[in-house]
Amino acid sequence: MRKTANVQELKEHANIHLARTDEWATKEFKDGICVMLHHILHLSDSYKGFRFLDANDCEIDTLGHASRHYY
């Protein structure tokens, strides 16, 4: 049986996890969420960009780079 996921709900759920700061919210954890969400948003023609949660902490390959909010 095939199910359809609500893209808006997935994006909201991902944004919650991308804003986390606990010990389990690592760069690798957030990178995985970003990759999957980016793919889903493009497949569904829903990509509207993102912003870094801290514009002063967004250097590539850092935790700050993966701490984002997708629109």
Q: Report whether pLDDT(5) > 90.
A: no
Q: Return the C-alpha torsion angle 25, 60, 15, 21, nearest 10.
A: 30
Which residue in the block uniquely carries the two structure tokens 């960009």?
Answer: 49
- The percentage of the chain sitting over the pLDDT mark of 70, rounded to a whole number, equals 100
**Residues 32-58: pLDDT tens digits?**
999 999 999 999 999 999 999 999 999
Average pLDDT, the chain: 96
Q: Where are the domains of the chain?
A: 7-56
